[in-house]
């Protein structure tokens, strides 16, 4: 029984550890965000590695209550509740209920589900938004196009590869604002060392593209250097990549007027062109050395059109490349070949409907120190607390009874065993233990000693009244006296077990009453508010169910303890019954000996 109670107490002490810990108490709220690459989510089997993931918040998944107006108090923490993840806030508008935040996740595995936590609700917290840390050093250029028209786009990375020219117009993009290209001037990128491309190097360029016009040879990206050229564009709506005049085979066409994700990777032997995260076409070529100015949305200024031969011996005919008409968003350039899985994840997670991220409910720090469990406690209404208080009283009462009863029966079993050992040595001298000095203290906890005392007292009472011989009727009378004491000991053993029985039978029903009352209050509040919101209903429902859980927590230990005590009481009762029969048998043996001795001519009485 002590081991059972100890186990239950250990489980109770482990509850704060089992509940998800709270990162820092200065933050009042948090939201669980799951990165799901299983078949139920993004269905990506290969590992992504380190990835900057877009957390898109809106009123459908975030309340924007309790957070600073600019989101400065937002922090992202890994599932260990210790590792703080770097992040960059591209846009945060609490009034409009929309936010775009990039979070640097160190490792995203394929075919798995991992959690991160978004903490908020600290008025004194400064902003830690930093794009230079949110994107790994292999990104050499990242344009969010979050500036206004007439200003050059700024690079988020530490390389500061800001655009050389300004945006003529902006449009609503996939992620906030986007660069609008009207076929007038391209956007020029600097010829910085970080953007230089050595021959045969690794490379990745990705962007969201919306083609408003499908006809012609439109360039999305161009870079030329001493006769070398890397061109990415669309030919009559079909994306292509071209290196020094060698062009990829036609692949999947773009849908007009629709945002689609395009990416090109070079691994040193071939170039792959992706449309919406999937490989559309490839080109067996290596990148040439490029270190000049690059252009987005058209060809670089002053570039001569490449010559294309028209038949044998024909004069070269210029191939006309036209500027791009449409919009581009989230442009990225990397000096490594990004994994296919990461490109797929970008296409799936950056759109309006992300299949990669799953948002949990907003949790409030309870102050109980039990994490999510403490938050549950804080949602319990007053009427449920009254029911829980009654159940706690029943639990404490039942545990006290179990501990005391178990200790008493253990002492009784040990004392009975010791008494039996001594009684086995008395032989025909049945009253020997009663004359032993200190026997009362030595056998104080033994129920057999009390039965033995009752028998010895009966024998000595008869002797004091002049009855020297024990008859069969006297033996039955002594047995009755011993039965009276045995019954009293049985009552002592069974005392308070009825309270345990009440806890077993009544605990769950009392808990159920609290649950019913709690659910009634939740539905009443929902009806009065006139709005069915799972974030408002779920805490109250969970808190109401806590009363039922508490009732079971009262009943289950009481059930185990009750069964254990009943089993041990049966063992003690069996010992008392066996001892009573043994003593009466020995007493009858003494009676027979006395009777035979009295039949002799000079017999004298044999006393017990």
Residue 530: C-alpha distances to residues 1, 442, 526, 536 (Å): 52, 74, 6, 12
pLDDT at 536 over 50: yes
Scanning 355-438, the segments in alpha helix (DSSP H) are 372-378, 382-423
φ/ψ (deg, to 5) at 29: -135, 160
pLDDT, averaged across the chain: 87
Kindly give, in sequence order, each residue whose CB lies less than 8 Å from that of residue 438, ignoring residues fewer than 6 positions away: none
Helix axes 534-598, 447-464, angle to 10 degrees: 30
Residue 305 has pLDDT above 70, yes or no: no
pLDDT in tens, 122-150: 999 999 999 999 999 999 999 999 998 89
Domain ranges of the chain: 29-135, 157-303+320-337, 367-597
pLDDT greater at residue 14 or residue 270: 270
Residue 203 clears pLDDT 90, i.e. is over it: yes
Q: What span, in angstroms and rounded, lies between the C-alpha atoms of 293 and 291?
A: 7
Total residue length of the chain:
608
- Is the Cβ–Cβ distance between 102 and 142 less than 8 Å? no
* pLDDT tops 80 at residue 418: yes
Strand partners, 224: 229
- Average the pLDDT over 260-271 and give the result: 97
Helices 382-423, 497-529: inter-axial angle, 10-degree rounding: 170
Mean pLDDT of 209-235: 95
Take residue 20 and report the two structure tokens written for it.
């998800």
Q: Looking at residue 594, what is its pLDDT?
A: 62
Q: What is the pLDDT of residue 263?
A: 98
Secondary structure class of 105 (helix, strand, coil):
strand
At 20 the pLDDT is 56
> How far apart (Å, rounded) are the C-alpha atoms in residues 16 and 377?
12
Give the residue-averaged pLDDT of 167-196. Answer: 94
pLDDT digits (tens, 9 = 90+) for 477-524: 888 999 999 999 999 988 988 999 999 999 999 988 888 888 887 777
> Domain 157-303+320-337, what architecture?
Sandwich (2.60)
- Which has the higher per-residue pLDDT, 15 or 285? 285
Q: Is the pLDDT of residue 240 over 60?
A: yes
Helices (H) and strands (E) in the chain, counts: 10, 25
Query: ∠ CA(278), CA(281), CA(285), 5° rounding?
Result: 125
**% the chain with pLDDT above 90:** 61
pLDDT for residue 314:
34
Residue 321 CA to residue 544 CA, distance in Å, equals 68
Q: Which whole number is the average pLDDT over 39-49?
A: 94
pLDDT for 15:
46
Global pTM reads 0.63
How do 217-225 and 322-323 pair as beta strands? parallel
What pLDDT sits at residue 592?
A: 74
CA atoms within 13 A on the CB side of 441: 2
- Alpha-carbon gap, residue 75 to 118, rounded angstroms: 6
């Amino acid at each position: 029984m002590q081991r059972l109670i100890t186990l239950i107490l250990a489980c109770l002490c482990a509850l704060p550890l089992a509940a998800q810990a709270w990162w820092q108490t200065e933050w009042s709220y948090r939201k669980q965000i799951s990165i799901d690459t299983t078949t139920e989510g993004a269905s990506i089997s290969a590992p992504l590695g380190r990835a900057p993931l877009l957390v898109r918040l809106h009123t459908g998944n975030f309340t924007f209550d309790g957070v600073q107006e600019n989101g400065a108090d937002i922090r992202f923490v890994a599932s260990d509740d210790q590792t703080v993840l770097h992040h960059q806030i591209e846009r945060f508008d609490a009034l409009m209920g929309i936010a775009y935040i990039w979070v640097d996740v160190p490792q995203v595995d394929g075919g798995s589900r991992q959690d991160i936590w978004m903490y908020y609700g600290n008025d004194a917290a400064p902003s830690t938004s930093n794009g230079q840390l949110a994107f790994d050093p292999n990104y050499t250029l990242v344009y969010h196009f979050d500036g206004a028209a007439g200003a050059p786009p700024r690079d988020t990375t530490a390389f500061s590869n800001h655009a050389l020219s300004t945006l003529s117009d902006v449009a609503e993009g996939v992620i906030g604002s986007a660069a609008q290209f009207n076929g007038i001037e391209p956007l020029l990128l600097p010829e910085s060392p970080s953007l230089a491309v050595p021959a045969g190097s690794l490379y990745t360029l990705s962007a969201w593209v919306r083609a408003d016009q499908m006809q012609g040879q439109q360039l999305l990206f161009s870079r030329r250097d001493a006769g070398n050229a890397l061109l990415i564009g669309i030919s009559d709506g079909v994306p292509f990549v071209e290196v020094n005049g060698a062009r990829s085979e036609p692949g999947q066409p773009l849908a007009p007027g629709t945002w689609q994700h395009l990416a090109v990777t070079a691994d040193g032997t071939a170039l792959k062109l992706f449309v919406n995260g999937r490989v559309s076409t490839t080109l067996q070529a290596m990148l040439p050395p490029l270190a000049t100015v690059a252009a987005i949305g058209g060809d670089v200024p002053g570039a001569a059109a490449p010559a294309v031969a028209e038949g044998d011996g024909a004069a070269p005919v210029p191939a006309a490349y036209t500027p791009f008409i449409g919009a581009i968003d989230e442009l990225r350039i990397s000096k490594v070949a990004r994994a296919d899985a990461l490109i797929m994840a970008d296409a799936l997670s950056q759109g309006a409907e992300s299949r990669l991220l799953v948002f949990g409910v907003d949790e409030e720090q309870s102050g109980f120190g039990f994490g999510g469990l403490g938050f549950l406690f804080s949602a319990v209404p007053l009427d449920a607390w009254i029911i829980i208080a009654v159940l706690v009283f029943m639990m404490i009462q039942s545990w006290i009874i179990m501990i005391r009863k178990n200790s008493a029966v253990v002492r009784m079993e040990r004392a009975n065993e010791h008494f039996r050992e001594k009684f086995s040595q008395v032989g025909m001298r049945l009253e020997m233990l009663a004359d032993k000095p200190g026997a009362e203290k030595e056998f104080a906890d033994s129920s057999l000693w009390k039965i033995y005392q009752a028998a010895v007292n009966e024998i000595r009472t008869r002797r004091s009244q002049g009855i020297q011989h024990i008859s069969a009727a006297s033996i039955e009378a002594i047995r009755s006296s011993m039965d009276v004491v045995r019954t009293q000991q049985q009552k002592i053993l069974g005392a308070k077990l009825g309270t345990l029985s009440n806890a077993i039978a009544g605990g769950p029903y009392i808990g159920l009453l609290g649950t019913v009352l709690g659910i009634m209050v939740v539905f009443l509040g929902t009806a009065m508010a006139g709005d069915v919101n799972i974030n408002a209903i779920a805490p109250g429902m969970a808190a109401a169910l806590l009363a039922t859980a508490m009732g079971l927590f009262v009943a289950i230990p009481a059930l185990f303890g009750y069964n254990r005590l009943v089993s041990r009481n049966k063992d003690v009762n069996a010992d008392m019954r066996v001892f009573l029969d043994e003593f009466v048998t020995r007493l009858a043996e003494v009676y027979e000996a006395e009777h035979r001795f009295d039949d002799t001519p000079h017999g004298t009485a044999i006393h017990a």
